[in-house]
Amino acid sequence: MQEVNFTKISEELSIKVNQVKAVSSLLDAGGTIPFIARYRKEATDCLDEVAITTIRDRLAQLKDLDLRRSAILKSLEERELLTDELKVKIDGAETMAVLEDIYLPFRPKRRTRATMAREKGLGPLAERIFPQEDLREAAALEAAAAEFIDEEKGVPSKEEALAGARDIMAEMMSEDTQARAMMRELFERKGFLHAQVLAGKEEDGQKYRDYFDWEEPLSEAPSHRVLAIRRGENEDILSLRLQPPEEEALALLEGLFIKADHAGSREVQAALVDSYKRLLGPSMETEARQHSKVKADIEAIKVFVENLRQLLLSAPYGQRAIMAIDPGFRTGCKLVCLDPQGKLLHHDVIYPHFGTGKSEEAGRKVAELCQRFAIEAIAVGNGTAGRETMAFLTDLQFDNKPSVTMVNESGASIYSASEVAREEFPDHDVTVRGAVSIGRRLQDPLAELVKIDPKSIGVGQYQHDVNQADLRRSLDDVVSSCVNAVGVEVNTASKQLLTYISGLGPQLAQNIIDYRDNEGPFQTRKDLKKVTRLGAKAFEQSAGFLRIRSGPNPLDASAVHPESYKVVEAMAKDLDCQVEGLLQDPESRAGIQLNQYVSDKVGMPTLQDIMSELAKPGRDPRESFEAFQFTDGVNELADLKVGMRLTGKVTNITKFGAFVDVGVHQDGLVHISQMADRFIKDPAEVVKLDQTVAVTVLEVDLQRRRVSLSMKEGRSQEKGDQPKSRPAKKPAKKETPRRPPKLASKPPAQKLDPNNPFVQAFQKANLVDKG
């Protein structure tokens, strides 16, 4: 079946079969996705990480399908039920659902009404009625039923015989492969999602009140809504049904099974209605629930993964001395000083919010520590008292005062109490560890964030509701992708960072640390081979992503893989210069004729990558750091006024909008309808995580601590001139909700009402996990 699978994947992805085979072979040989994408471009014909990941996952799905297929065939053979015709059908099943449909009539069952009827000997009666070829008259039907009356078997009357026959026919129809395929398609195409509040749960379920009486086509329900309603159901607030119009379902089944209009066919009709309501309908609803959950999970995980990627690749401030402050009111502000490598040099507590005397003392201490440790930047956590601490530091005046910037501290408290933090700082409490994490996050967000469970960082959408195994695999993939894209300095990287390097893992990462501690810094990449248990395969997979910036070989600081060093040395020799000359002299590189170095092992894609590395060896793909400041004088929700124009940072992106921190300790929501002057389908089209954006305040709800914002251009700053969004109407029953029209210009001013999209979105956003 493997060849069939290769062909199927190539057709699905519109790529060559040989590309699929190459990826499969490299994965089977222990290759990692970052390594294959970066260093095996000739084999895969330049497939990127997304394509390779898709092939890997699809191969796993098809493998599961083949394993299930084999198990079914074995079961049928053992029970002597396998025929040539059945085997052909099983071998031809392309999805798990179709495979299970074929197997359903033969699956060992618990005792059902149909099996009990068959035990009573009523199978022949059902088989005679079902084709509807005779028994046209009521009398003939009753006479046929009378033949099966048997007190000992539990069939005391004609009515009991006919009821048993209907039970058998109902099960026959519910297990019919064609009927199930038709119903599955109907549920997908015309299924409606119905949500309703449970009696007496109105007060407890206020955050779900949008869905107290909700209906929409399942095919159009966005992932966040499906997951929100399912969570409400799990919390015993809502009931959920997924069904198409019943009359359409029955009409389809009638077209398939009803052959005539007489006494016998009326028995089939009765069995058909019973089959749909008791067996087939609930079975298809269960499938539809599972399918919609899987689809919603995929979308939610995709949002989480993309947000995490953007956060991990946030611009680093770099290796500079940092003062980090974890702000607080009652307990003071925990202060730490870090050297350029993130090593803790000093820790203290200041009390800038305890009156004039304490504030002046705190100012003197900050100035003195900045001078003593040559601090180049001050990082302030964005939690409680963050804006007030920023204002205090901004007002300080002293010589060589460093810049002050606010850092997102989501997850810092999780790190500070973790085993990793206890290993790093066994003699310090959680407050010191948290402040260190804030400072290091400014120096290098990637290196610090890999120490924290991604689910605690607060950039996901319903991350606790999705399939956790799928989520963990996807998060591991994106962390690995980011770490390997940036590369790691092997002589300073933490165990957690090294763990994500291609081909390593926790044990080899620890072995590298142990070697470094015992033998000193690595001088060349070749020294990695001296690490315990780091064999040829692990070296091949990892070496290109590990950097040695101060070693004798300049290529060790680049992404050029050691297997290609001879190519670079040949280039230098042909140009009569040293490798260092190629790195430093663009004119020398301009004389390289790449065609001369193509071989059976090195192709043009690798040579082009080598040239890019020679131009910018070890370049960091992340953007340059830019300092950010919130709007002065806006520190609390009460400071916000409708019409204000503010500067903020995007902290989370969902399918219904983006959350923006404007410095008031409560993120505001920019609903998708307020993100641009044009229609957009996805917020990711216009924003990315940690992006600085200008927003206008549309609405402030102090009681529920909710803020509605707009990113649209031309918003008036006068309260009375604020254009309002179009009110969102709940769709009427069994009607498809209208899509929002494309707007050629700003929508006309309308009065906001409780049904506007911001109110609705906030009610959804209340369900978004923030870590």
DSSP state of 280: I
Q: What is the pLDDT of residue 761?
A: 45
Q: What is the pLDDT of residue 633?
A: 83
pTM: 0.82
pLDDT tens column, 492-506: 999 999 999 999 999
The length of the chain, given as a count of residues: 771
* CA terminus-to-terminus distance, the chain: 44
Distance between CA atoms of 658 and 635, rounded to whole angstroms?
A: 20
The pair of structure tokens assigned to 606 is 């690798």
Q: What is the pLDDT of residue 463?
A: 81
Q: What is the pLDDT of residue 280?
A: 97
Distance between CA atoms of 606 and 46, rounded to whole angstroms?
A: 10
For residues 73 and 87, the answer to whether their CB atoms sit within 8 Å is: yes
Q: What is the pLDDT of residue 55?
A: 96
Q: Which residues of the chain have pLDDT under 70?
A: 1, 714-771
Q: With 0-12 CB in 10 A as exposed, 13-18 as middle and 19+ as buried, what is 484?
A: buried
Q: Which residues contact 539 (CB under 8 A, 6 or more apart)?
A: 503, 528, 529
Using alpha carbons, select from 521, 529, 569, 530 the residue that is nearest to residue 549.
Answer: 521
Q: Is 265 helix (H, G, I), strand (E, B) or coil?
A: helix
Q: What is the pLDDT of residue 612?
A: 92
Q: What is the pLDDT of residue 731?
A: 38
Sheet of 238-243, strand order: 213-217, 192-197, 238-243
